[in-house]
Amino acid sequence: MPTGAATVTLYAHISGVSMAVVGRFDDGFLSVNTRYFHHDHLSMRAATDKSGSVVASSGHFPFGESWYESGGTNKLKFTSYERDAESGNDYAMFRSYINRFGRFSSPDPIAGEAANPQSLNRYSYVSNDPLDYVDPLGLFFRPTCAGNPNLPGCPRPRTGAGGDGGSGGDGQGCDDGRTRAAPYLPPCPPGTGAGEGRVRGSLTDRLQKTLKDALAHLAQRCKDLLPTDKIASALQDTEFFDGTKPSGDGTVRLSDIVENSSTKRVFEATTPGDAAWVIGSHNRALTHNIVIGPAFRLLNTQQREATLVHEGTHMAWQRTDAQLWDFAQKNGAIPVSQSATASVNFQKWIEAGCPEKGTKP
């Protein structure tokens, strides 16, 4: 048996609607000292004990330099990163972040694209907009509640019951009969009320535009063969959900989006290799709801556009990957390899411009 005291520190990440809370448990075998760290997108703003009393506080400037700190120190400082005591840099999972320079120490492993000039600087932090975005993995950034309060999962001030949220509106009513307590309201469940009382998320707006551009960029033979008119006509009714993380959209159950669907959460139903997939209903019909998976962020612009056209074709024709690939083969497509799946083959066929027989995608 060891002699003397020992300390074990356990961190538990607990996701909530308004903020994430980190609980720290220091066990010296004889006593337990619990601390809860409360953060926003910039800082661990406060630490409280088990009685709720504030025992420490801290704040940081937008790019991570220390602003103030009182009540002791801890390694959880800027945004969700852990700070290295020796170098002073922040651990951003896939890279290190140098807060005193406001940039990463190594280039983004995901290449930039000409359509987004800011992305060509592969060392920059969240395209130099830390007030509106965060980058928890050091791979790609996402919007924050501070800069985008209408995102799913963000708290919203009560401004009155009911109303038409529509596209970008501020109505707070849901038509699912829920009672929500002041001062904050959680977002209405996706799929309730055909848009009434809902606020369309920025992901949907952005990817609707990407899909619209994709339809315009398609090779003429793809336009002639694929249901582009049907995809375009359903564009405004198509919703996109982020399935890459166990927070925000990822916490929503599929049954909240599509009635009588699976009770799995969006994140649980998405695998690391998924770029995108369409949510099906209880009778196996494909709905106008597309989940974006982790692999989508690794694609270049052409591949992303082909992916969205691929998923749009699923919705328009209500066909499986095997059926879509069979259609492509009847129109001259040949497989990229003997081991490639129907989904990969159909995707590559679109990327290649839906070539005729004898031309490998």
pLDDT at 217: 94
**Residue 13: CB partners within 8 Å, gap ≥ 6?**
20, 22
Residue 289 pairs in a beta bridge with 239
Q: Under a CB-based contact definition with an 8 Å cutoff, are residues 24 and 37 in contact?
A: yes
Annotated domain spans of the chain: 7-147, 148-200, 202-318
Per-residue pLDDT tens over the stretch 221-234: 999 999 999 999 99
Write the secondary structure of 128-179 as one string of H (helix), E (strand) and C (coil): HCCCCEECCCCCCCEECCCCCCCCCCCCEECCCCCCCCCCCCCCCCCCCCCC
Closest by Cα among 47, 206, 183, 39 to 115: 206
The pLDDT of residue 114 is: 75
Q: At what angle do helices 321-330 and 342-351 cross, to 10 degrees?
A: 50
Distance CA 270, CA 252 (A): 12
pLDDT single digits (tens) 75-85: 888 888 899 98
Residues of the chain predicted below pLDDT 70: 1-32, 73, 115, 145-201, 282-284, 357-361
Spatial strand order in the sheet of 90-91: 82-83, 90-91, 96-98, 103-104
| Of 250, 163, 160, the residue nearest 199 (C-alpha) | 163
SS (H, E, C) the chain: CCCCCCCEEEEEEEECCCCEEEEEEEECCCCEEEEEEEECCCEEEEEECCCCCEEEEEEECCCCCEEEEECCCCCECECCCEECCCCCCEECCCCEEECCCCEECCCCCCCCECCEHHHHCCCECHHHCCCCEECCCCCCCEECCCCCCCCCCCCEECCCCCCCCCCCCCCCCCCCCCCCCCCEECCCCCCCHHHCCCCCCHHHHHHHHHHHHHHHHCCHHHHHHCCHHHHHHCHHHCEEEECCCCCHHHHCEHHHHCCCCCCCECCCCCCCCCCEEEEECCCCCEEEEEEECHHHHHCCHHHHHHHHHHHHHHHHHCCCHHHHHHHHHHCCCCCCCCCCCHHHHHHHHHHCCCCCCCCCC
Task: Provide Rg for the chain, Cα atoms.
Answer: 24
Residue with tokens 């919703």: 239
